[in-house]
Amino acid sequence: MSLLRSALFYSAEALAWRRLDKRVLAHLQERVSPTAIRPQYGDLWRLYRAVRRRRPRVVWEFGAGWSTSFLAQGLADNGSGRLYSMDADQSWANHAQSLLPPWLKAEIRFAPVTLVDVRGERGWRHSNRPEDAMPDLIYLDGPSGMKECTGCADIPDIENGLEPGCLVIIDGRPGTTAMLRRTLRRSWKSWEERGPLGNKPIQGMFELVS
């Protein structure tokens, strides 16, 4: 990364850090595992802002962590909404639960994955999903460390139960983004959001039209 690009990136990160809730940041920084990947504050700010703007009733998250707290903070600031966070790693699900500030609410579940066929492709499907609470916003950042297939099967699996307007945010998983473009059957609008340097997609976005 050139010095200019590096300066732009860290400037954008500093701006996002200033916008995030400092009480939540301090709580997480005191408790996070030293082996955890350092968060990108710009990603956390975009998630929080998406929740505030769209005011979802139910949020599903695949892959718990720092993002769980900021999704929960967005719902708390909205005054309503439920968050279900699923992680395929039992120890990380437990750690994410210990990270969650006590003034925020989220149901964090250990959700093992199985390899399944989904519309002609292989994908990872999470178990233990809240099937009685279909989401209108989904954040997909899991499962981690799974290299044996192209992507996550959960979205096409629940596609028929989703309502128009449902937004799917996929964090840094181009394989899953490409897989959804091949496997989703309803009418979706899709686009990519890029980071402050504009050099690569950081999030794949899908919004259900009908």
Total number of domains constituting the chain: 1
Boundaries of domain holding 20: 3-208
The percent of residues in the chain predicted with pLDDT above 90, rounded, is 66
Strands 201-208 and 188-194, how do they pair? Answer: antiparallel
Q: What pLDDT score does 146 carry?
A: 61
Instruction: Judge whether 67 and 46 are in contact, CB under 8 Å.
Output: no
> CA 167, 93, 112, 144 torsion: positive or negative?
positive
Q: Residue 53's domain is classified under what CATH number?
A: 3.40.50.150
Helix boundaries (H) for the chain: 3-19, 22-31, 41-54, 66-78, 90-99, 154-158, 174-183
pTM score:
0.92
pLDDT in tens, 107-151: 999 999 999 998 888 889 999 999 999 999 999 998 866 656 678
**Which whole number is the average pLDDT over 95-115?**
95
Instruction: Dump pLDDT digits (tens) for 15-65.
Output: 888 999 999 999 999 988 887 778 889 899 999 999 999 999 999 999 999
